[in-house]
Structure 1
Amino acid sequence: MLLIFVDSCSDDEKTVVVLVGLPARGKSYISTKLSRYLNWVGINTRVFNVGAYRRLQMKDYNDHSYFSDENNEGVALRQKIASEALDDLISWLTSDVGRIAVFDATNTTRERRLWIMERCKTHNFQVIFVESICKDKNLIQENVLEVKVNSPDYKSIDKEEALKDFLKRIEHYEKRYESIDDDLDKDWSYIKIFDQGKRYLANRIEGKFFLFCFLVGEHCFLNCRTVGWSQHK
Structure 2
Amino acid sequence: MLSESNTGVSSTRTQSTTSIATIQTAATTPEFFPSLVESEVGNLLHANLFSLDQREVVDDDTESATTELVADTAEPEREKWAICLVGLPASGKSTVAEQLETYVNRVKRADLRFKSFNAGNVRRRYEKQLTHKFDFDFTKSATQRLRELYAFEALNELTSSLIRDEIDVGVFDATNTTKERRKKVVQTIRQTAAEANVVINVAILEVCCANISLRRYNIERKTTNKDYYGVPREEAITDFLKRVEKYEKIYEEVTLDEIDQLDVNYFIMSNVGESFSYKCGQRSNEKNNVGRFESVLLQHIYDFLLHYRSTFGQQYLSEVEKFYADGYKPIKQALATNEYTVHNV
**Category of TM-score, reference length = shorter chain:** 0.7 to 0.9
Alignment pair present for 1:197 and 2:253: no
Per-residue CA deviations over 1:123-150 (Å, capped at 9, x if unaligned) read 13111111111121111001111x2111
Name the Cα RMSD after superposition: 2.3
* Structure 2 CA distance for aligned equivalents of residues 81 and 143 of structure 1: 23
Deviation at 1:154, TM superposition (A): 0.8
Q: Quick one: structure 1 residues 45 and 203, their matched pair in 2 at CA, closer, same or farther if it must change by over 3 Å?
A: same
Per the alignment, do residues 194 and 159 of structure 1 end up closer, same or farther by CA in structure 2, a change over 3 Å counting?
Answer: same
The 5 Å alignment of 1:18-167 reads: 18-40=84-106, 41=109, 42-59=111-128, 66-122=135-191, 123=193, 124-145=199-220, 147-167=221-241
Residue number in structure 2 paired with 1:13: 79
Taking the TM superposition and a 5 Å limit, the aligned residue runs for 1:167-206 are 167-186=241-260, 187-204=263-280, 206=293
Separation in 2 of the partners of 1:183 and 1:2?
A: 30
- CA drift at 1:184: 3.7
Task: Supply the distance in 2 between the matched residues of 1:136 and 1:62 (Cα, whole angstroms).
Answer: 34
SS in 2 for 1:185: helix
**Partner Cα separation in structure 2 for residue 62 and residue 137 of structure 1:** 32
- Is 1:210 aligned with 2:300? yes
Cα offset, 1:45, TM superposition: 0.9
Residues 95 and 21 (structure 1), Cα distance of their counterparts in 2 relative to 1, 3 Å cut: same
1:50 maps to a residue whose letter is: A
Percent of counterpart pairs with the same letter? 32
What is the DSSP-based 3-state SS (H/G/I as helix, E as strand, rest coil) of the residue aligned with 1:43? coil
Following TM superposition, by how much is the alpha carbon of 1:188 offset from its aligned partner in structure 2, in angstroms? 2.9
The alignment covers a number of residue pairs equal to: 220
Determine the C-alpha separation between the residues in 2 that align with 1:96 and 1:35. Answer: 18
The Cα of 1:88 is off from its aligned counterpart by 0.6
The aligned counterpart of 2:17 is: none
TM-score, reference length from structure 2: 0.59
| Gap change, CA 1:97 and 1:166, over 3 Å in 2 | same
After superposition, give the CA deviation of every residue in 1:72-91 in whole Å (9 maximum; x if it has no partner): 22211111111111111011
The separation in 1 between residues aligned to 2:138 and 2:170, in whole angstroms, is: 28
1: CA distance, partners of 2:77 / 2:94: 26
User: Which structure has the larger Rg over C-alpha atoms?
Assistant: 2
Q: RCO (CA 8 Å, sep 6+): is it higher in 1 or 2?
A: 2
Over 3 Å counting, the alpha-carbon distance change for 1:92 and 1:49 in structure 2 is same
Give the Cα–Cα distance (whole angstroms) in 2 for the partners of residues 80 and 9 of structure 1. Answer: 38
CA contact under 8 A between 1:108 and 1:177: conserved in structure 2? yes
**Deviation by residue 1:193-232 (Cα, 9 ceiling, x = unmatched):** 1122111111116421211111222444349xxxxxxxxx
Alignment-mate amino acid for residue 305 of structure 2: L
Aligned residues of 2:104 and 2:300 also touching (Cα < 8 A): no
Q: Is the 8 A contact 1:191 1:200 kept in 2?
A: yes
Q: In the aligned structure 2, how far is the partner of 1:193 from the partner of 1:138?
A: 17
Structure 2: distance between partners of 1:135 and 1:211:
21
C-alpha distance after superposition, 1:71-126 (max 9, x if no partner): 32221111111111111101100112321111111000111111111112221311
| 8 Å contact kept, 2:207–2:270 | yes
SS at match of 2:223: helix
Q: Find the counterpart in structure 2 of residue 227 from structure 1.
A: none
